[in-house]
Structure 1
Amino acid sequence: MRRVVHMVRKEFRQVFRDKPMLAIIFAVPIVQLLILSFAITTEVKHIKLMVVDFDRSTVSRDIVRAFVHTDRFDLVGRTTDLGEIREGMRRWEVQMGLVIPDRFNEELGRGLKPQLQLVSDGVDGNSAGVAVGYAQGILAELGMEHAMRYGTAPLTGNPAPVRMQERMWYNPDLSSQQFMVPGIVVVLLTILPMMLSAMSLVKEKEIGTLEQLSVTPLRKTELLIGKLIPFLFLSYVELAIVTAVAVVVFGVSMNGSYLLLALLALLYLFATLGLGIFVSTITQSQQQAMFVAWFFMVFMIIMSGFFIPIENMPVVLQKLTYLNIMRYFMSIIRDVFQKGSSLFYLLRDVVPLAAFGLTIFSLSVVNFRKRVG
């Protein structure tokens, strides 16, 4: 028993002597709890709504006002062109379209049960279903109020004075796999290169071979390129495998270009490899590298829109997500898989991803060269 107590004391001394590990053990969970508690929510809010109003009546304006006066919907535009709804959805600027037909006010007043159309972006099946439920509740209540005002509300049977037609674009069946599986591909494509680059370089540091390599004729950049090319190759192999499994096994629709996805993945891989290099320069052991890498990845995953819509987060956290490289590639891969988007529609994510990727990789390489030198 005395020997066990001695061993316990020894381990405690080692833990408290390692200041970086001490910070990881106590500070990291507190930071994660504070930020993630605000970021993670199951509520669906701030749904981007576009209205196509062919009626242009008092009733149609009341309908729009009823949507705007809740925190569930944000009005992003009014139009008389149905094509603008699809264009807005392709750009992720619209999540739902409300179409009010001509003579809607007149038919409602005559008790003819006019039809409204709800067009939803079904990429995120769960959020789309909840959004439709919100809209149905608002429209049913408002339609009943107007029907009672005109004295046309039925006293028996189905009291709804308005018929609603719902259409789901890009994911008609509201399959969660169509939304989640491409996101999982991004997560896997983050873990492998980041962990491999971080752990491999730290391992070389631990066993002393990194210092030995630094005195060889190899330049620091050549050393780094030689270490990272195998990880880049393995990441592409993983991308090919998980994409094939997603399409063949899970039946995820691949409506875009495989070649375009592979080219844009290169930008993301450079960024994740750069983060791995950065982790290797600020840690002294593989254990530290693993903890720090997971610290980054937890935030990246939660704040990427993987399973929590970014629009549902507090405004401050929404702004912070613009610094998250995973946010951009998450949007890209879902666009390519489900919407079949071309490069033109992806530029809003490609440009910041390329900028962040180049910056992160370059700064990490410079930092690595300084540390090794």
Structure 2
Amino acid sequence: MRNLTFLLQKEFRQIFRNPTILRMILMMPIIQLIVIPLAADYEIKHISISVVDQDHSPYSRKLVQKMTSSGYFQLVEYTQSYPQALQTVGDGKTDIILTIPAHFERDLIKDNKAKLHLAADAVNGVRAGLGTAYASQMIGDLNREIREEWMVLPKFNELPQIDITSANWFNQHFDYHLFMVPGILAILVTMVGAFLTALNIVAEKEVGTIEQINVTPIKKHEFILGKLIPFWVLGMVSITMGVIVAFVIFRILPLGSYLTLYAFAAVYLLGILGIGLLISTFVDTQQQATLFSFFFMMVFILLGGLYTPIESMPEWAQWLTRINPPAYFIKVIRAIYIKGSTLTDLWPDFIAMIAFAIGFNALAVFNYRKRSA
């Protein structure tokens, strides 16, 4: 116990003597937590549209006005030439081309049907898909308005109508900040825990102090705990600062208990720190540790459910998320913030995090003992 105390004193002094580490632990997550949710807007607006109007009728002008006044479309070009509009797509100025053919209004009145053509720049598939969906919905709204104008009904005869009411549970106003901020907080804590812990031990290897430690009476598990506990404490501080930033900047508070949040964070940090310690046992330089950490962070982010729902991933990817610790913590922290979930509700995830913490730290201790014997 005395050896562990000396190691903890050494680690905290070493950390506080290095202002770069403190800035990375404290300032970097705060700045990223503010900037990323403001930039990563899920709502796509100002879709550029070029209109090829070969009809110039009241109905065609009404359709163009309806789309441009919605706030989702920005009119780039209004022309009669489709090749000219297509050139703006090639130049990257237009996302959607709406072609209104000649005699559009006449065909609609005479034959009760007319055709429109939508062409989308599919380089950005998400933007093209949403733009086409928005445009199709507005065309459908115009079609319904026209049908209501033409409809002739007997007096006092009511048109059968189905009313749809909806309720948006947990996120009534579709505020994407409520969804993104907790997930980004989980990823930032992961970066701080795994990356800095790996670099810390590798730095000891590079300067040669780890050999001096190995010849002392300090036991291997004491050495691991001495490296793990300081960053665990700083990780909990980072979580606290993230919670404060989420409230001050985005006015987001967890609906669930803070005790539940910190219980999960404490166990999760132990697992993530174990990953950093495990990485450090396989590498000899900080450059190697950085590359390994970067590789794992890419996997954590892409398979964590931060941007892409896990349920929409291929089946093999969904299996990989079951051994991906951030996937559990992102799910948990969102459930606590948005749904007010309790420890009882999230008990299977808590057990999984305990298993990760025990497993990764046990592997780190075992592998460190084997390589330094």
Normalization by structure 1: what TM-score?
A: 0.58
- Paired with 1:156 and 1:319, the residues of 2 have a C-alpha distance of 55
Per the alignment, residue 186 of structure 1 pairs with 186
Unpaired segments of 5 or more residues in structure 2?
A: 1-41, 43-125, 153-158
- Paired with 1:255 and 1:293, the residues of 2 have a C-alpha distance of 33
1:330-350 C-alpha deviation (Å, 9 max, x unpaired): 111011111111111111311
- Paired with 2:322 and 2:190, the residues of 1 have a C-alpha distance of 17
Q: Which amino acid aligns with 1:293?
A: S
Alignment of 1:96-245 (within 5 A): 156=151, 161-245=161-245
User: Please, what is the CA RMSD of the aligned residues?
Assistant: 2.9
- Paired with 1:281 and 1:160, the residues of 2 have a C-alpha distance of 72
Q: Which amino acid aligns with 2:361?
A: F
Cα–Cα, structure 1 residues 155 and 163, in superposed 2: closer, same or farther, change >3 Å? Answer: farther
- Paired with 1:190 and 1:330, the residues of 2 have a C-alpha distance of 10
Please report how far the alpha carbon of residue 154 of structure 1 lies from its aligned counterpart in structure 2 after TM superposition.
10
Q: Which amino acid aligns with 1:173?
A: H
Q: Which amino acid aligns with 2:176?
A: S
Task: State, as a whole percentage, how many aligned pairs show the same letter.
Answer: 38
Aligned residues: 231
Please report how far the alpha carbon of residue 161 of structure 1 lies from its aligned counterpart in structure 2 after TM superposition.
3.7
Per the alignment, residue 248 of structure 2 pairs with 248
1:230-284 C-alpha deviation (Å, 9 max, x unpaired): 1111101101001111122111131011111111111111111111011111111
Structure with the greater alpha carbon radius of gyration: 2
SS at match of 1:292: helix
SS at match of 1:164: coil
Cα–Cα, structure 1 residues 267 and 160, in superposed 2: closer, same or farther, change >3 Å? Answer: farther
Unpaired segments of 5 or more residues in structure 1?
A: 1-41, 43-125, 145-152
Cα–Cα, structure 1 residues 155 and 185, in superposed 2: closer, same or farther, change >3 Å? Answer: same
1:283-328 C-alpha deviation (Å, 9 max, x unpaired): 1110110010110011111111111101111111111111101111
Does the CA contact (< 8 Å) of 1:303 and 1:327 recur in 2? yes
Per the alignment, residue 270 of structure 1 pairs with 270
Does the CA contact (< 8 Å) of 1:247 and 1:254 recur in 2? no
Per the alignment, residue 280 of structure 1 pairs with 280
- Paired with 1:154 and 1:220, the residues of 2 have a C-alpha distance of 82
- Paired with 2:184 and 2:257, the residues of 1 have a C-alpha distance of 19
SS at match of 1:232: helix
- Paired with 2:330 and 2:256, the residues of 1 have a C-alpha distance of 15
Please report how far the alpha carbon of residue 189 of structure 1 lies from its aligned counterpart in structure 2 after TM superposition.
0.8
- Paired with 2:170 and 2:286, the residues of 1 have a C-alpha distance of 43
Alignment of 1:56-71 (within 5 A): none
1:132-175 C-alpha deviation (Å, 9 max, x unpaired): x99xx9xx9xxx9xxxxxxxx99639x99422111111111101
Q: Which amino acid aligns with 2:151?
A: T
